[in-house]
Structure 1
Amino acid sequence: MSTVQPDAAAVESVGLSAKQARILRYLRENAAEKTYFKSRLIADELDLSAKEVGANMSAVVDAATEIDVEKWGYSSGTTWMVTL
């Protein structure tokens, strides 16, 4: 029996790495409650560095179909605007 979740399989089909898939899943799960996400706060939640989040966001932005992800600002770290 496979333990792969359906959304993980769909993410793999668009060629995301495991880190990118985790970031995308985090944004999808939290976009209804929140609009702006700082890279360092995403990193804290996912046990990554802010640099890892930033390095992987371009692939996440390209793969996100059910949410819109846009680089929003740089003050005290990169902020991403996420909308449904």
Structure 2
Amino acid sequence: MSTSPTPESRSTALPADCEADLSVKQQQILEYLREQADSQTYFKSRLIAEELGMSAKEVGTNMPPLVESDVDLSIEKWGYSSGTTWMVTA
């Protein structure tokens, strides 16, 4: 038996039904955005990726479920020039 935490047992500020719908990477991105949303509004996928040890493509792939889910942030795809930019408001 493994004793490592599963995505379902990870503690987040999401309601249980939302948490079950998000992958570990999506939860990591959401936690990062929550921490930064007070001081920053626009985020480039590339810069999120650098902070979290992911590729920009991984971030871009995992953002749409956050946009569509019922989370405590408003996340909107904002721009495409030199990488995707996301507008995030708390």
Residue in 2 that maps onto 1:71: 77
**Across the two proteins, how many residue pairs are aligned to each other?**
82
- Structure 1's consecutive aligned runs of 4 or more residues displaced over 4 angstroms after TM superposition are none
Q: 2:19 aligns with which of 5, 12, 20?
A: 12
Which structure 2 residues correspond to residues 1-84 of structure 1 after superposition, within 5 A?
A: 4-7=10-13, 10=16, 11-13=18-20, 15-84=21-90
- Equivalent-residue separation in structure 2 for 1:83 and 1:26 (angstroms): 13
RMSD: 2.0
TM-score normalised by L of structure 1: 0.85
Unpaired stretches in structure 2, ≥5 consecutive residues: none
Larger radius of gyration: 2
- Once residues 74 and 42 of structure 1 are traced to their aligned partners in structure 2, the CA distance between those partners, rounded to angstroms, is 15
Q: Taking structure 2 as the reference length, what is the TM-score of the superposition?
A: 0.80
Identical aligned pairs, as a percentage?
57
Show structure 1 runs of 5+ residues with no match: none
